[in-house]
Structure 1
């Protein structure tokens, strides 16, 4: 008999003895076209592994929920539960291995990881797979906690001592900073403060607290090192305060996290800080994809990369706008990013989603001219124009404060599909340059018209069904020979999660814009069930990983995917990746059902 192939998950995890056990018990069965292998509620006595052919899994509603190709395994859960709720039908003549239930149970008892592959929760399965990336110093940046990275040798001084005494202590300790205790507060004294002392010609007898910064940026000792890095980059600082239970206990400097730090992302941030021309920015923008590739190759997942790129892109946009906009416009306007960029979920340069709000008194032609140059500059830096023209060069998204308020008010008072989509894009907005209070003012104005009108919320939420183009589901489309073997990962998976959570967040007045933050907050508010929240978050992470992988492959092949930026070639996926994709789409189907019920979309 043909020898079982142990080269793929979860069978590659079996010991020699377990492999012998399986090999001695396995058989091969042939099934003809349209033959039913498993009926709903039929007792299950075997685990099936496809050798050749194609099997389709059909749900109780007639939808094809999965396809099984070479190396795919089914129906593991039903083996334990006793029966399946679904039907398994041969689409193309199939040869399959049949592994007896007793053999599978015996191996599961000796190999917990083998059993977990089939029976772990969806969230646990995705999380487990994400941990199988090759280990590298880059990966530790996203797993190490601050407590493991910062040095517990912070210098502490009292705010009442003189500058001369403080300088002596810092020289003796060979440190560039010290934490200062003064009147129940904790502050930070750095060597740069002594430059200010010299410029001000202050006496060396001045008490230290007068030159201490008490408005500090902090991280918790149990935060990830990555969080500390983000804060340093976001606030353009060299160190952060480390807190435990809300109490400052020390400081962490950039040098403390060098072992965890990617030189690529750090250098990009430093070069952005020093950039003086648009030509400088063009060079830096080209380096960003290289940084993403390096980090991705070394185990960093898409959601963490998206957070990093949100900081870097925000710095790049701010610098570009500062170089382009006249000073009087820069100070009297607010440049905002929206959509995936505003949510902190964009990694590769896909499109521009931005807008400009400017104060009354700013000549509209001045704003329009600068906005047009900004859009052209972003295109030069590799950010394609938005297909929907949602960018500052479009007068609809470059308005004075009163006009912007009028526009968002109109979306609520006349809730058409177009206005609801504009609202969805805008509520993800974040300020990246200029006067951020302008955006805050528009959002506060918008709040007055969001009265939880059931009709408006229903129309807003209905967009989750925007791409449900086939009544029998995505997998059934693949059975047609003329159909593409590609999936639009954004339409089929990412968008329904993003917009569904956005609708729930809008209803619950959740201020967070990042989808993962929204999931966390909505779970805390009991707006979604905790297990569903975990499953959806992990499914979204996995889909973002697939999307990033496809995008990086397109870049490596110098392929222009601007027409199909979200297309996943299913033929290129491994058996494990297809299995996880099936699980992810099932989670999203379940989540969409929750959204339909919650917002009465079927009425």
Structure 2
């Protein structure tokens, strides 16, 4: 019996008080020397082992399955399924908890959450963690204050203001309500629906003073009140906006849509700011909100896939608005602005390096848009988007060409393949239209697919870079640190890049038009390239790798692409994260083996 058993370790944290008492009474502790074999091949496993210290090697026949260290469980599947193919060798003297097999079976029967830990797949385990994080995200909302949400600037008008003048002001300021100061000093609210009711339904003249149309006795809320209380007030009184007070004075108006926007981590606010921007300075201010948005989303329980999609959509919205501000109206339908790289794939988790291009209609001289392209790149840099190290930007004439010129480029990229050609092609394949005429891009993509028909040799060369970097997991399934970055792992090279590029190569082979890695994995599963379980596991592993990369960047204050790296310090990861990282990297190795066989990469 051990009174020191750590019930904070998953899955034992799922046990009730009574179940914990039973387990404490049944558990024992054992010591093993190096080279001991607590479990021999063919021997039935009587106990689950929880490693207190030391290393246990799990084998299936002569094949090493994994190595278990402090906090790891050995023999769960063998214990529950009563299999006898596993064996255990002590790699480093070990101290372990021994949990009787019958106790484990009883706990699994009585506690479904406990049982699920042992029976779930990688994708299910990672998804369960995301669901647990969502509770933490809602907790942060419960303590948020009204002043932290977006407040519309208060627009006061005297009671003598006419309905016509009020409507003109609301349109000019893009407001949904006005604050009306009556002659007796009362302050009321005049909303767009109020104006509709009085002017259209009741037929009042447009010269009617708004004093008689406003709603008085308005419910207000203090800026230091909890945001969830504001939501309660709106629900209780069936209202959609609340004037916000500071020291008894109205400082703004909280609208229901913005409160809901805050609950989804301020994304609505950023979109509104972008829509309302009339100048480059206003658009720059809107772009600055992406950093706080990303910080708010991280740890909120929102899956990294949807965080990336949200940030990408907002970034594209900013770029579309910038393009529309700069381009002459007569050229707007003669060009296609496309984004590439992580932004083209919808996987942007920060203001990454610019990767963009401009496809121009054949009847337009590319030199006529050079100044526009230069202004665009300079504005993006001022918005916090660093220049591309490879100069894949519209300001570079190589990435601002006519449709025919890009078609020629595609032909030469495929005719004379090489490192630069493959980089250019990979970027182009991930491209998505942001503004202008998308048909310019779609026609080029169709031409690319036509050129690829029955060109397996080219595809094999294109897929080769997946094996350019070692997967940072060792023979004994331990994490392998980078030689030049002590205690850190390059998540992009070791895990993210092989998935992105491998999936990209398979998608290119199948002529898939989707650009998101997630969508490509799902589409490849439908094509029969992956089975259902492998596709689900690959999606969850990719999400997890993206998530810990974002965590690493946030911990280093690297939300901008400039100076940001892809290294994650292993000691900063929780036990669950380290285990999930090992599982994810093992899946990456399996995926690389699949690609090596599929594209016959061993021949190179």
Q: TM-score, normalised by structure 1?
A: 0.73
Q: Which digits, 9 at most, give the CA deviation of each residue in 1:128-165, with x for residues without a partner?
A: 22111243886999xxxxxxxxxxxxxxxxxxxxxxxx
- Residue 26 of structure 1 corresponds to 27
- Residue 587 of structure 1 corresponds to 587
Asked if 2 retains the 8 angstrom alpha-carbon contact of 1:137 and 1:259, the reply is: no
Deviation at 1:545, TM superposition (A): 2.1
Asked if 1 retains the 8 angstrom alpha-carbon contact of 2:478 and 2:582, the reply is: no
Q: Which digits, 9 at most, give the CA deviation of each residue in 1:565-601, with x for residues without a partner?
A: 2222211111112222222222222222222222222
Q: Distance in 1 between matches of 2:551 and 2:473?
A: 29
Q: Which digits, 9 at most, give the CA deviation of each residue in 1:221-273, with x for residues without a partner?
A: xxxxxxxxxxxxxxxxxxxxxxxxxxxxxxxxx97896475372111101101
Q: Distance in 2 between matches of 1:41 and 1:417?
A: 51
Mapping for residues 10-159 of structure 1, pairs under 5 Å: 10-32=11-33, 43-54=44-55, 68-81=68-81, 82-83=83-84, 89-91=90-92, 93-135=93-135
Q: Distance in 2 between matches of 1:18 and 1:45?
A: 20
Q: Distance in 2 between matches of 1:85 and 1:349?
A: 48
Q: TM-score, normalised by structure 2?
A: 0.73
SS in 2 for 1:313: helix
Q: Distance in 1 between matches of 2:61 and 2:393?
A: 45
Q: Distance in 2 between matches of 1:277 and 1:60?
A: 68
Mapping for residues 239-318 of structure 1, pairs under 5 Å: 259=260, 262=264, 264-318=266-320
- Residue 418 of structure 1 corresponds to 420
SS in 2 for 1:132: helix
Deviation at 1:108, TM superposition (A): 1.4
Asked if 2 retains the 8 angstrom alpha-carbon contact of 1:38 and 1:89, the reply is: no
**Structure 2 gaps, min length 5:** 142-175, 177-191, 201-254
SS in 2 for 1:90: strand
Q: Distance in 2 between matches of 1:393 and 1:53?
A: 57
Superposition RMSD on alpha carbons, in Å? 3.5
Given candidates 365, 381, 384, the residue that maps to 1:382 is 384
| Residues 472, 574 of structure 1: alpha-carbon distance in 2 compared, 3 angstrom cutoff | closer
Deviation at 1:86, TM superposition (A): 7.5
SS in 2 for 1:135: helix
- Residue 322 of structure 2 corresponds to 320
Deviation at 1:96, TM superposition (A): 2.4
Asked if 2 retains the 8 angstrom alpha-carbon contact of 1:138 and 1:300, the reply is: no
Matched, 1:432 2:450: no
SS in 2 for 1:523: helix
Worse-superposed segment, 490-499 or 77-86: 77-86
Higher RCO structure (Cα 8 Å, ≥6 apart):
1
Q: Which digits, 9 at most, give the CA deviation of each residue in 1:166-200, with x for residues without a partner?
A: xxxxxxxxxx9xxxxxxxxxxxxx99xx9xxx9xx
Q: Which digits, 9 at most, give the CA deviation of each residue in 1:363-395, with x for residues without a partner?
A: 444434333332332222222223333222333
Worse-superposed segment, 389-398 or 489-498: 389-398
Deviation at 1:286, TM superposition (A): 1.6
SS in 2 for 1:350: coil
Q: Distance in 2 between matches of 1:305 and 1:600?
A: 36
Q: Distance in 1 between matches of 2:52 and 2:483?
A: 21
Asked if 2 retains the 8 angstrom alpha-carbon contact of 1:332 and 1:359, the reply is: yes
Q: Distance in 2 between matches of 1:430 and 1:490?
A: 22
- Number of residue pairs matched? 492
